[in-house]
Amino acid sequence: MDYHGTSAPDNKELAALIGREKRERSKTYKEISDESKAANISADVAFQTKGLIAAAGKNRVDLNDLDDVKRRVISYMDACTEAAAIPSFIGLCTHSLGLSRAAVYKYLTAHSGTATAEFIELTRDTLADILCSAALRRDADNSTAIFILKNSHNFRDRLELEAVPPADPMGPTVTERDIMEKYADLVVDD
């Protein structure tokens, strides 16, 4: 029998062809998931490596130069947008500012209240908000997002208050003379 200008394959050949095609199309969820995870990890490592190489080629940012800090933050956010990656404070410090996270925290502590410190804190809050939004949309793992928010952004499950006892919990110190003066008019002296 003619099969579109060629002879038709026999049943064994056809069965083998269909079976091969079906096996290629019907990968299990785990196989697809594993391939997807591997591709995502590779893409993330490639993105981080490019960022690290770019950061190594740049000079470290002068954190007192607010305009340069702003420019680098926006550049990092644009790169994350282009790469469809959730930005992080660690990534910002390493890839854009050319500094370690610890160095930036040290600067924030030493220069609290400065315009640059305020901008960096605003940036941290923005990064936390992006992560929260991604977790709420289920674009990020909720458990990982909670872990990062608690450990890198100082989020807590509840407000923790510490009771501070007064300096003198028993009240003011009273001397024997104070007691005698207080009760002197009640004592009858014969």
User: Which residue is listed with tokens 């990890």?
Assistant: 41
Mean predicted lDDT score pLDDT of the chain: 81
Which comes out higher in pLDDT, residue 141 or 120? 120
Is pLDDT of 3 > 70?
no
Question: Which two three-digit tokens encode residue 105?
Answer: 């925290």
Give the residue, 16 or 120, on which the prediction is more confident.
120
Which has more confidence, 58 or 113?
113
Predicted pLDDT of residue 2: 47
Residue with tokens 């038709």: 8
pLDDT of residue 84: 83
In the numeric block, which tokens belong to residue 130? Answer: 């992006």
Query: Distance between CA 47 and CA 70 in Å, rounded?
Result: 21
**pLDDT number for residue 121:** 95
pTM, rounded to two decimals: 0.59
Label each residue of 8-40 as H, E or C. CCCHHHHHHHHHHHHHHHCCCHHHHHHHHHHHH
Whether the predicted pLDDT of 109 surpasses 90: yes
Q: What band does 123 get if pLDDT is binned at 50, 70 and 90?
A: very high
Is the pLDDT at 145 greater than 70? The verdict is yes
Specify the length of the chain in residues: 190
pLDDT in tens, 29-86: 667 677 788 888 888 788 778 777 766 766 789 999 999 999 999 998 998 888 888 8
Percent of the chain with pLDDT over 90: 24
- At 1, the pLDDT band (50, 70, 90 cuts) reads very low
- What is the average per-residue pLDDT within 94-116? 92
Q: What is the mean pLDDT of residues 73-102?
A: 88
Q: Write down the pLDDT at residue 24.
A: 57
1 CB contacts (<8 Å, ≥6 apart)?
Answer: 7, 8
The helix (run of H) or strand (run of E) holding residue 119 is helix 115-136
Query: Would you say residue 25 has pLDDT above 60?
Result: no
Answer whether 63's CB lies under 8 Å from 107's CB.
Answer: yes
Give mean pLDDT, residues 21-31: 61
Alpha-carbon torsion (62, 63, 66, 72), positive or negative = positive
Write the DSSP string, 130-159: HHHHHHHTTSS-HHHHHHHHHHHS---SS-
